[in-house]
């Protein structure tokens, strides 16, 4: 039986007159890795913020792990993990200390704190450096720590907003390898935004390309390429077409600036 872990129904968010997310409807199955693609300003982060209950929809609804984001936000929060676009760990604490704070936050029983934190660190290959200050971590290590932090309570659905931006290819592969492990071990469903098409192609079961707040195309990478004329086209060409990057899809200075800032902080 296929279990649906995420279902958007006409999900919409306006800022004043501007429609940032426009009547989105799609579903993600349990255990799926779903990629949300699109150029700057397409509406990816706004979508994720609504699905994580950080931002109220203007209209429409969505269920996450079976709970409505509008009427059951507390249940949604208990079922999810979230790695935001900007850095979310404290550089002045050690890796271990960062995770301990979240073990408390997530109501994990005190007697289990140490074991659970250690397990999460081991899972992300950070156990050896757990007593080092996070300010001295590389960008890839910071991202792996953030994933450990957001999965301490073993959420059913994990949202990651550009988890690999600003990382070198080796660090990116390592982040993905650990995400795949997470899915294998816990069956975690993941919604991931990324700019890197190769990553989407290698690791996502399905992708949606967003443009101006709407879904321009959705399916497996293979399906999108076939719908676009098959093997003679690359995923890059498909993306450029649907994300309309060729004709300047927009994206304000603020979007680019935010992204650069977070890429810089990750080194």
Point out which residues bind Mg ion (CB under 5 A).
Answer: 44-45
How far apart (Å, rounded) are the C-alpha atoms in residues 44 and 49? 9
Near ligand ADP by CB under 6 A, which window of 35-43, 125-133, 174-182, 223-231? Answer: 35-43
How far apart (Å, rounded) are the C-alpha atoms in residues 99 and 145? 8
Q: Which of 5, 44, 57, 96 binds ligand ADP (CB under 6 A)?
A: 44
Q: Which of 24, 28, 37, 42 binds ligand ADP (CB under 6 A)?
A: 42
CB 191, min distance to Mg ion, A: 13
Question: Which 3 state secondary structure label does DSSP give 216?
Answer: strand
Site string for ligand ADP, 247-266 (x = CB under 6 A): -----x-xx-----------
254 closest CA partner among 60, 10, 18: 18
262 closest CA partner among 133, 160, 164: 164
87 closest CA partner among 174, 44, 146, 169: 146
Question: Which residues from 2-21 bind ligand ADP, rule CB under 6 A?
Answer: 15, 20
User: Which residue number, 152 or 210, has a Cβ lying nearer to Mg ion?
Assistant: 210
CB 144, min distance to Mg ion, A: 20
CB 28, min distance to ligand ADP, A: 18
Q: Is 212 left (phi over 0), alpha (psi -120 to 50) or beta?
A: left
What does the buried/exposed string (b/e) look like for 211-224 if buried means 16 or more CB atoms within 10 Å of the residue's CB?
bbbbbbbbeebeeb
CB 204, min distance to Mg ion, A: 17
User: Which residue number, 96 or 239, has a Cβ lying nearer to ligand ADP?
Assistant: 239
Q: Is 40 an interacting residue with respect to ligand ADP (CB under 6 A)?
A: yes
Near ligand ADP by CB under 6 A, which window of 41-49, 167-175, 220-228, 237-245? Answer: 41-49
Near ligand ADP by CB under 6 A, which window of 39-47, 96-104, 178-186, 228-236? Answer: 39-47
Q: Is 84 an interacting residue with respect to ligand ADP (CB under 6 A)?
A: no
Near ligand ADP by CB under 6 A, which window of 44-52, 88-96, 97-105, 137-145? Answer: 44-52
Structure tokens at 147: 């994933």
User: Which residue number, 46 or 63, has a Cβ lying nearer to ligand ADP?
Assistant: 46
Q: Is 99 an interacting residue with respect to ligand ADP (CB under 6 A)?
A: no
Interface positions with ligand ADP (CB under 6 A): 15, 20, 38, 40-46, 252, 254-255
């Amino acid at each position: 039986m296929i279990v649906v872990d995420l279902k958007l129904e006409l999900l919409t968010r306006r800022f004043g007159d501007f429609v940032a997310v426009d009547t989105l409807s799609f579903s993600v199955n349990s255990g799926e890795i779903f990629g949300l693609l699109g150029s700057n300003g397409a509406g990816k982060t706004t979508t994720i913020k609504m699905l994580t209950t950080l931002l109220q929809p203007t209209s429409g609804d969505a269920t996450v792990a079976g709970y409505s984001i509008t009427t059951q936000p507390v249940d949604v929060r208990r079922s999810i993990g979230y790695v935001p676009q900007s850095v979310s760990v404290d550089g002045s604490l050690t890796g271990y200390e960062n995770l301990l704070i979240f073990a408390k936050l997530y109501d994990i029983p005190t007697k289990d704190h140490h074991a659970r934190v250690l397990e999460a660190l081991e899972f992300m290959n950070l156990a050896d450096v757990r007593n080092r200050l996070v300010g001295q971590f590389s960008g890839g290590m910071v991202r792996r720590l953030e994933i450990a932090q957001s999965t301490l309570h073993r959420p059913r659905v994990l949202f990651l907003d550009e988890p690999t931006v600003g990382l070198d290819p080796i660090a990116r592969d390592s982040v993905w390898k650990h995400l795949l492990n997470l899915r294998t071990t816990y069956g975690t469903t993941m919604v991931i935004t990324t700019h890197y098409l190769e990553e989407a192609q290698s690791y996502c079961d399905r992708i949606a390309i967003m443009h101006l707040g709407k879904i321009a195309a959705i399916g497996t990478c293979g399906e999108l390429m076939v719908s676009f004329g098959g093997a003679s086209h690359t995923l890059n060409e498909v993306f450029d077409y649907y994300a309309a990057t060729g004709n300047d899809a927009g994206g304000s200075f603020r979007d680019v600036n935010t992204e650069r800032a977070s890429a810089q902080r990750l080194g």
